Amino acid sequence: MAHMFSFLLPPHLLRRVGVLGVCMAMLLPMAPAQAQLSNSRLPNLGDGAEVPLGVERRLGESIAREIYRDPDYLDDPVLGDYLQSIWQPLLASARQRGELTPELEQQFAWDVALIRDRSINAFALPGGYLGVHLGLISAVSSGDELASVLAHELSHVTQRHIARMIAQQGRQGPMVVGAMILGMLAASRTANPSSFSAANAVMVGGSAAAMQSQLNFSRDMEREADRVGYGVMTEAGYEPQGFVTMFEKLQQAARLNDNGSFPYLRSHPMTTERISDAQARQQLLPKRGVVPTTPLHAMMAVRAQVLTKPGVDALRNLAAQAQASSFVASPRAKQAGVLYGATFAELAQRNFGEARQHLSRLQALGGLDAGAQRVVRLLSAEVALAAGDAAQAVALLESKTTIVANNDRATRIQLAQSRIATRKPAQGKIAASDLSLWLNQHPRDATVWLVQASAFELQGDPLRAIRSQAEARAMELDYGAAVDRFKAAQLLAHQMASEGKLDRAGHMEASIIDARLRELERLRREQTLER
């Protein structure tokens, strides 16, 4: 990855999403930055206007489509909500500062994906797509440190760094990047490993030559992303110390993660100059102490760790920490993280009795704010549902109707899944209705579309179930699969109509299906032409 930090994507994602390493390493190689606090001393990098926003967005979509298909792409609603609680204030800050213009906000996706990988990494893609490795969440000590990473990546996008580099290459810029994407994706699907190596070597050779001539420009981009990201982060209300401590963590991680492979895909190591620059900016603000770890972050960090599937021994070690003699003397945040981790680790091993024991201690832990209490409640419902007590999971969540009515995505999804697990059609109807309220405001939520499909199946509504499946595929940018499902829905609607089984609401649904099918067929044709 080629930004604030200097780590590679894991090989499996590199093969599936080669542009993350290749394109960004070629376009944005990181290098030492000098402490420059004055904007007047920063270079004029331009605005990337030579590359239309639509071109950059389509380039990003071609990459995101492969990310969504990768087995290590993860939509964990609990972690996702935590990430969004940090991400949305950054977007608001960038908007208020004028970094995120109305046109840019409308044209780009501004989607943050979770990747099931233990490495400390994050990345920005064309078109406002970002990715965060679970290893990064588990490694940072606070939401402020995570905010510093996201703000930096956000600034790479708002400043149109990829577009600038494409524009520098002239008219063939998008073609070059597109060719690299196609080459990597084609190589990833071959049965001959040597074919991938050969294709990779060709692109690495080409990118190496480009990197040498563009190095200074790329250094300027990193300085700009540091400067803009720092402003976005601090004006969003996050502690500036998080920026400094994050730099220090990344410097250490860079040494640990560097295994010498794919040398041209590695960024330059973290430098003392960039750390000094962040420290200098911090000194301009009122002095504050070290940002403490909150109970909420401690719990989310260990959740991310467990979701990387670290193995049985690691899970047992997490569970054993709750019995350690040092536990009682630990800070409250540490205790919350340990008990949450022990519960989640036992749950991952399907040791429900032990999970409930740790959970009881966590529930009895005082001093937790509303956000921390919420994730404890969600964990309680997870344990109940995994143990086969769907009714208890529903009872734990359905009383929080005021939260569900707002923007609590995790509670809404988990409550719907629990209702479906009861296998009662009436509960499926309630779940489908509640999810429809969410989708009216968030139509791009593929996971919710899939859960709603299960709810429709439970209540005996196959037409809407198939349509929801189709919408999920469309939101994942897999237009071919979406067209197939919409055609299946269309065929079913015609059959039901011929048998007199299609009521007025069903006819309206059929009309929607016909319109969406035409739209998705058009998008599929465009997608095919771009390959």
300: number of CA atoms within 13 Å, CB side?
29
Q: Among 338, 277, 267, which Cα is nearest to 303's?
A: 338
Percent share of the chain, pLDDT over 90:
58
Look up the pTM and report it.
0.83
Please measure the distance between the N-terminal and C-terminal CA atoms of the chain and give it in whole angstroms. 24
Pairing of strands 111-115, 122-125: unpaired
User: Does pLDDT of 529 surpass 50?
Assistant: yes
Q: What is the mean pLDDT of residues 267-279?
A: 57
Is residue 349 within 8 A of residue 312, CB to CB? The reply is yes
> Tell me: the pLDDT tens digits for 163-207?
887 777 665 555 565 455 444 434 433 444 443 343 333 333 334
Tokens 């260990």 correspond to: 302
Give the angle subtended at the CA of 226 by the CAs of 222 and 227, to the nearest 5°.
120
**Cα–Cα distances in Å, from 186 out to 67, 196, 206, 500?**
15, 8, 18, 48
144-177 burial by CB neighbour count: b if 16+ within 10 A, else e? bbbbbbbbbbbbbbbbbbbbbbbbbbeeebbebb
Predicted local confidence at residue 208, as pLDDT? 40
155 pLDDT band (50/70/90 cuts)? very high
β-strands 111-115, 129-133 pairing: parallel
Read off the pLDDT band of 284 (50, 70, 90): low
Cβ atoms within 10 Å of 442's Cβ, excluding its own:
13
* CB 329 within 8 Å of CB 343: no
- Asked if 270 and 251 count as a contact pair (C-beta separation under 8 A), the reply is yes
Q: What is the pLDDT of residue 246?
A: 84
Q: Does 32 have pLDDT greater than 50? A: no
Give the tokens for residue 12: 């499996």
Note the pLDDT of residue 62.
85
- Most confident region among 244-258, 274-288, 383-397 by mean pLDDT: 383-397
DSSP bridge pairs for 34: none
- Compute the average pLDDT of residues 148-165: 89
DSSP for 396-415, please give it: HHHT-HHHHTTT-HHHHHHH
Q: What is the pLDDT of residue 55?
A: 85
Q: What is the DSSP letter of 5?
A: S
Closest of 331, 328, 302, 300 to residue 315, by C-alpha: 302
pLDDT at residue 222, as a whole number: 80
pLDDT reading at 431 higher than 60: yes
Q: Where are the domains of the chain?
A: 11-280, 293-387
Question: Is 80 a residue whose pLDDT tops 50?
Answer: yes
271 has a pLDDT exceeding 90: no
